[in-house]
Amino acid sequence: MRLLRAEQFQRVDWEAVIEEIESLGRSDRRELKSWLEVVLQHLLKWQYQPQLRSGS
């Protein structure tokens, strides 16, 4: 970050920057997939187990 802020672009380790950006993308996709799975599970329970519905 320091080198980018100082606009010393020739000294930046661009491979490391690229890897970090790609890693963030993978992490975000995993988090979204996990969140969607939980939502889908709750919707299925809501649909097929109405007797177990709660206010939360």
pLDDT digits (tens, 9 = 90+) for 1-56: 898 889 888 999 999 999 988 888 888 989 999 999 999 998 898 889 988 877 76
Q: Give the whole-angstrom CA distance, residue 33 versus residue 23.
A: 15
Phi-psi region of 52 (alpha: psi -120 to 50; beta: other; left: phi over 0): alpha
Q: Does the global pTM surpass 0.75? A: no
Cβ–Cβ < 8 Å for 3, 11: yes
